[in-house]
Amino acid sequence: MIVVLRRLRNAFTSLKGRLALVVAVSFVPAIISIVRDHSTRENLEFAEAIHTAELSAQLAAESVEGRFEAARQVLVALSQGSVLQEGDRAACEAQLASFLSKYPRFLNLSLGLPDGTLFASALPFKPPLDISDRSHFKRVMETRDFAVGDFSISRVTGKPTVICAIPISSQGKIKRILFVSLDLQLLSPQAKRLPLFVGENLTLVDALGNVLVSTRGGDGAPGGLAPDRWPFPVTVESFRHGERLYAVAPVHTRPPSNLRVIVDSGMDGLFQNAQWRFYQNMGWLVFFLFWWRRLCVDAWGGFLSPVMWRVF
C-alpha cells in the first residue's frame, strides 16, 4: 500500500504528470464545446432552411396573387361593356366567345343572374343550369365584390377549375355576375417555372384543403386533398412535420379567399455541414486522447499503464 501511494505521489509531482493532469481536465470543456458547437450549427442550418422555405412560399404566393389580380382586371374591363350589361343571350355569348379567343389561359367566360342560373357562356351549355350552390356565386353575392371560389369541376366544361366572379351592378343592385374559369391544368406547368430551390415542392390549396396546383406528380393532381389540415396564416408560417419542412403563405385576394401556398422540402442533408464539423472535431479529440495516453504512460509509468491500455 505504501508503495502504491508513493508511486501515486511521484506520478502527480513530476512535470509530465502535472501536464497530463492539466490535459485531462481540459478534455471536459473541449467535449462540452464540441457538443455546443454542433447544436448551434444545427440550429443555424435549420433556421436557414426555414428562411429559404418561407422565402420560396412568399415569392410563390405573390406570383399566384398576380394571376388572380390579372383575372380581376380582365373581369373589371369586360364588365364595362354594354352588351354584357344589357344584351340578350345570343349577343352576350358571341361577345364572351370573342373575348375567350383572346384569353386562351382561361377555361371559360360566362354570365350569371342573381337568382343563381347561368345566363350565357362562351362555351355551349344546356340551360337551365343552376349555379347557386357554387362557392364563387355565394361569395360574390355576399361581398358584392370580386370573389374567388374553391376548387370545383366546371358544369360547362367538366374540367377542374377555380372560378372568379365579379358583379355587374346598376343603382346599387346586382343585375348580372361575370365569371372567369381558370384552367388548373394550364397553371400546373406554370407553377413549375416559379423560382423554387432544389428539392422544394409547391402546392396551392383552397379553404377546404383541395389541391388546386402542385409541382408534384400523382398525389399532387388538382382536386386531391392536402395531406394535413394546414393553418390559415396571416403571414408566412413554417413548421416541421415528420421528415419534411413546410412553409405556408397566404394568397392575398380582395376579399380574402383563404387560398394558401405550401412549400415543402426534405430534411435529407439538412445538417450535413454540422455533422461534418462534429466528426472533424471528434477526430481531433480522439487524436489528442491517444497523445494524452502516451503522456500518461511516460509520466505515471507502470502505475496506470495497464488501465490506460484497456481504456485506450
Which pLDDT tens digit goes with each residue over 226-263?
655 555 565 677 777 777 788 888 888 877 777 888 88
Quote the strand ranges of 191-290, DSSP E: 200-205, 211-214, 237-241, 244-251, 259-266
Q: State the pLDDT at residue 307.
A: 43
Q: Which residue has the higher pLDDT, 173 or 28?
A: 173
Q: What pLDDT does residue 304 have? A: 46
Q: What is the CATH number of the domain that holds 110?
A: 3.30.450.20
Residue 22 pLDDT class (50, 70, 90 cuts):
low
Angle at 100 between CA 95 and CA 102, to 5 degrees: 105
* C-beta separation of 79 from 168 below 8 A: yes
Q: Which residue has the higher pLDDT, 264 or 115?
A: 115
- My answer on whether 77 and 122 are in the same domain is yes
User: 244-251 and 147-153: which strand pairing?
Assistant: unpaired
Q: Is 299 exposed, middle or buried (0-12, 13-18, 19+ CB in 10 A)?
A: buried
* Least confident segment among 116-125, 153-162, 211-220: 211-220
Q: Which domain holds residue 85?
A: 71-183
Question: Is 250 in the same domain as 197?
Answer: yes
The candidate with the shortest Cα–Cα distance to 106, out of 122, 87, 82, 84, is 122
DSSP letter at 262 equals E
How far, CA to CA in Å, does 262 sit from each of 68, 230, 267, 270? Answer: 17, 9, 16, 19
Identify the weakest region by mean pLDDT among 46-55, 102-111, 276-285.
Answer: 276-285
Give me the number of domains the chain comprises.
2
Whether residues 78 and 107 share a domain: the answer is: yes
Cα–Cα dist 203/180, whole Å = 22
- Clarify whether residues 97 and 130 are in a common domain: yes
Q: How far apart are CA 211 and CA 71, in angstroms?
A: 20
Of 13-27, 157-171, 264-278, 285-299, which has the strongest mean pLDDT?
A: 157-171
d(CA 123, CA 48): 49
Instruction: Answer with the one of 153, 183, 213 that is the final residue of a domain.
Output: 183
The per-residue pLDDT for range 178-216, each reduced to its tens digit, is 999 998 877 777 676 776 766 778 888 888 888 888 887
With cut-offs at 50, 70 and 90, classify the pLDDT of residue 15. Answer: low
Same domain for 169 and 238, yes or no, is no
- Assign residue 8 a region (left: φ > 0; alpha: ψ between -120 and 50; beta: otherwise): alpha
- Helices and strands in the chain, H and E counts: 8, 10
Between residues 264 and 268, the one the model is more confident about = 264
Nearest to 239 by CA among 59, 42, 45, 49: 49
The pLDDT mean for the chain works out to: 78
Query: Does 249 map to a domain?
Result: yes
